[in-house]
Amino acid sequence: MQGDPGSQMLETLLTGAPVIPVLVVDDVAKARPLAEALVAGGLPVLEVTLRTPAALDAMAAMADVPGAVVGAGTLLGPDDVAAARNAGAQFGVSPGATPRLIQAAQEQGLPLLPGIATPSEAMTLREQGHRVLKFFPAAAAGGVDMLKSLSGPLPDLRFCPTGGIGHDTARDYLCLPNVLCVGGSWLAPRDRVAAGDWDGIRTLAEEAARLPH
């Protein structure tokens, strides 16, 4: 079975750094310096979640940062896909997957990292050609043990686990052969973003970029 072209692009993209920062941006004015700090720290692939009114404008601002590869997270339906594409997103991330969401991403030409939490969900997406999946919510859905279990019957799938992962637990996931990277919100604490502590955020990124990968 031929793989989805978007999955092939995502696999190349997600092997570039061990961690994708998962970002909740409240203030558009903070978007560009936040992206600059993360890219300077060695984490160029960024996920901006569509959880705030500022998200789309923040995404557009980050897309102009040299070296940044900006994706849209929390895509729930076709309208989100279209809005993310228009804002300059180069890929999309969803907590789950529905037929309408998958179709919209294909029609928009937006590579999608669809979320799964069970073997059946993974198998369904595999039948559709997807080879790179988000495992969410990782910690609550079985964590490292679940991913180890999935590697036997589904050896051709690769995962980006997200949800409940921090710097101290990220390496446990990254050492698994079926994990390309992890997603984490610890890279951009809201208090540091609000304070404009870009040096501190760059330091967090540098520490994450050094994780075994």
Planar angle of CA 19, 25, 30, nearest 5 degrees? 100
For residue 158 the two structure tokens come to: 């690769």
Catalytic residue, chosen from 134, 148, 206, 207, is 134
Query: Does the pLDDT at position 117 exceed 50?
Result: yes
Residue 43 · residue 70 · CB < 8 Å: no
pLDDT number for residue 2: 57
CATH-assigned architecture of domain 5-11+19-205: Alpha-Beta Barrel (3.20)
**Region 145-156: what's the mean pLDDT?**
98
Of 169, 168, 107, which is closest to residue 138 (Cα–Cα)?
Answer: 169
For residue 93 the two structure tokens come to: 């991330």
Task: Respond yes or no: is residue 148 known to be catalytic.
Answer: no
Interval 52-73: pLDDT, tens = 999 999 999 999 999 999 999 9
Share of the chain above pLDDT 70, in %: 99
Task: Respond yes or no: is residue 127 known to be catalytic.
Answer: no
Q: How confident is the model at residue 213 (pLDDT cuts 50, 70, 90)?
A: confident
Nearest-angstrom CA–CA distance, 71 and 88 = 8
Q: Where are the domains of the chain?
A: 5-11+19-205
The single residue listed with the structure tokens 């390309």 is 180
Residue 138 · residue 164 · CB < 8 Å: yes
Catalytic residue, chosen from 11, 30, 36, 47, is 47
**Which ranges of the chain does DSSP label H, i.e. alpha helix?**
5-14, 31-40, 55-63, 78-86, 99-108, 119-127, 143-151, 167-174, 190-195, 198-209
**Region 192-212: what's the mean pLDDT?**
97
Residue 108 · residue 81 · CB < 8 Å: yes
Residue 75 · residue 91 · CB < 8 Å: no
